Amino acid sequence: MSEAFCSLEGRTALVTGASRGIGRAIARELARAGASVVVSYRTGEAEAQALAAELGGRALQADVSDPASARALVEEAGELDILVNNAGVTRDGLLVRMSDEDWRTVLDTNLASCFYTCRAAVRGMMKRRSGAIVNISSIVGLHGNWGQTNYAASKAGIIGFTKALARELGSRNIRANVVVPGYVKTQLTDVLPEEATATMLQSTPLGRLGDPEDVAGAVRFLCSDEAAFITGAVLLVDGGLGM
């Protein structure tokens, strides 16, 4: 890919949940595009600090499920041109056995965090009349999945939240979009049984699991001027799984 295409030169980006997996790949791709990247993490400090050093950026610890911590993170990150909400957790289990804590933890970390960080970041973007927000959902938010009512609800909520946000902020030239990964090779999928992985592959027309870099490339595009007339979009990066 040409460095001139989808350039983010001179822009500052904050990526939450960036210490590993998809978040790490997104941070690297935005830096490769020329952005100054702030790597946010809750756990995995050593990994986050190493990534920030590699990218010439900064690593900031925050619990984005907490409104005060999310606000402080955005303030410390400085004037943001780009916000990527990638932080997420799973607490899988059947509905009848799911605890209140597991429900709240997933909804707060995956969905409420988007509200907290966006609320803090858009004030500056509105003043500058410019900004790009990309929220990371999941194919589970579109199709559901056994044992993941909490996760599916949080990821579906991200889609509705982002569409409403796009309508609110469009007049200020702030774009908000969603990337929906399918099954991607991360620490979460590495531990799945072979039968589960085989079922995923059978359902995916391209016949492979995605790489984190596949998702990162889509995020870079949506953050760039090449996507200047795209807002409220839901971009599936799933090998055709969601057709």
**Residue 65 identity:** S
CA distances for 142 relative to 16, 21, 41, 96, angstroms: 22, 21, 26, 22
- Alpha carbons 112 and 92: distance in angstroms, whole number: 18
**CB distance 220 to 8 below 8 Å:** yes
> Collapsing DSSP states into helix, strand and coil, what is residue 45?
helix
**183 annotated active-site:** no
H-type helices in the chain, by residue range? 21-32, 45-55, 67-77, 100-106, 113-128, 140-143, 149-169, 187-190, 194-203, 212-223
* Catalytic-labelled residue, pool 41, 116, 151, 183: 151
Dihedral sign for Cα atoms in the order 226, 231, 236, 242? negative
> Hey, what's the torsion of the CAs at 155, 161, 163, 167, to 10 degrees?
-170
Which active-site residues does the annotation give?
A: 151
